[in-house]
């Protein structure tokens, strides 16, 4: 059984068709990760008592568990809870009716929050203490210092790492297939269920993932160039 080019193209088309699902998974997790992760990172760096502890515990907890397990745990508890609640309310909807893409997005978000909180914390710490002190000395509040002085310096530092996180999320989103959520990978695989040409399906999916990640990398280079203007000029 050789490599069936025409089926490969069919699988490729299916993979591309479900690419928006993969992008949705990765980008929503990235967005949630940045918003919540930034909050956790700021809590740590500014030593906001309760939140800082919460942030530390959360990061340790999530980083120690494989993503697959987070996803499956979430899947089981969410579906069970949903069914219990629906039954109690005498509703006819059941967990099999909910779009599993939300479960996968949530699992990926939980994971990306922890990762992004850590990398943003590192980026925030890369900005020297003197920058805070100068800001306070000219009368800026803590919030103003964060948004006017610290973040504009920390964000360019974190950009290559955020790009890596996005690439990681695009790849990790493929585990959505363990809960039968139809994404890029699963789309290609479903096309192969009739003829068992999984090899072609996997190669097609790999190609699309690779293309996606390549373009992410390109975009991040462009963005980084623009955001680090003030450092670049020093070199030339």
Partner 1 sequence: MIEIRDIHKTFGHNLVLKGVDLKVDKGEVVVIVGPSGSGKTTLLRCINFLERADAGEISIGDTHVAFRQATARQVSTIRKQTAMVFQNYNLFNNMTALGNVMEGLVTARKVPKKEAEAVSRAVLDQVGLADKCDAYPSQLSGGQQQRVGIARALALNPEVILFDEPTSALDPELVGEVLSVMKAVARKHITMVVVTHEMSFALEIASRVIFMDGGVVVEEGAPQEIFLRPKEERTRQFLRRILPETDYTI
Binding residues (CB under 8 A) for partner 1: these are 128, 130-131, 133-141, 144, 148-149, 152-153, 230-231, 233-234
Question: Is the Cβ of residue 90 or residue 129 nearer to partner 1 in the bound state?
Answer: 129
For residues 216 and 51, the answer to whether their CB atoms sit within 8 Å is no
| Cβ nearer to partner 1, comparing 104 with 151 | 151
Which is nearer to partner 1, 87 or 148 (by Cβ)? 148
- CA distances to 98, 162, 166 from 217, rounded to whole Å, are 34, 10, 9
Nearer to partner 1, 7 or 136 (CB): 136
Give which of 114, 115, 116, 103 is closest to 175, Cα–Cα. 103
Q: Nearest 5°: CA angle at 43, between 37 and 44?
A: 95
Largest CA distance in the chain: 74
* Minimum CB–partner distance for residue 42 and partner 1 (Å): 17
CB of 164 to partner 1, least distance (A): 23
Minimum Å distance from CB 53 to partner 1?
A: 23
* Whether 101 contacts 20, CB under 8 Å: no
Please state the closest distance from residue 40 (CB atom) to partner 1, in A.
Answer: 23
């Amino acid at each position: 059984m050789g490599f069936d080019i025409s089926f490969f193209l069919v699988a490729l088309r299916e993979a591309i068709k479900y690419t928006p699902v993969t992008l949705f998974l990765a980008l929503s997790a990235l967005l949630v990760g940045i918003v919540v992760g930034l909050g956790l990172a700021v809590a740590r760096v500014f030593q906001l008592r309760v939140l800082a502890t919460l942030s530390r515990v959360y990061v340790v907890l999530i980083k120690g568990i494989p993503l697959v397990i987070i996803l499956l745990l979430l899947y089981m508890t969410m579906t069970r809870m949903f069914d219990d609640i629906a039954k109690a309310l005498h509703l006819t909807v059941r967990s099999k009716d909910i779009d599993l893409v939300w479960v996968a997005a949530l699992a990926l978000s939980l994971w990306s929050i922890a990762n992004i909180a850590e990398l943003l914390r590192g980026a925030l710490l890369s900005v020297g203490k003197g920058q805070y002190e100068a800001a306070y000395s000219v009368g800026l509040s803590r919030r103003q210092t964060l948004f006017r002085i610290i973040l504009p310096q920390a964000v360019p530092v974190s950009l290559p790492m955020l790009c890596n996180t996005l690439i990681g999320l695009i790849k990790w989103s493929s585990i959505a297939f363990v809960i039968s959520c139809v994404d890029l990978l699963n789309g290609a695989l479903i096309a192969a269920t009739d003829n068992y040409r999984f090899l072609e399906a996997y190669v097609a999916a790999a190609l699309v993932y690779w293309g996606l990640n390549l373009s992410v990398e390109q975009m991040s280079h462009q963005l980084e160039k623009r955001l680090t203007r003030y450092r670049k000029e020093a070199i030339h």
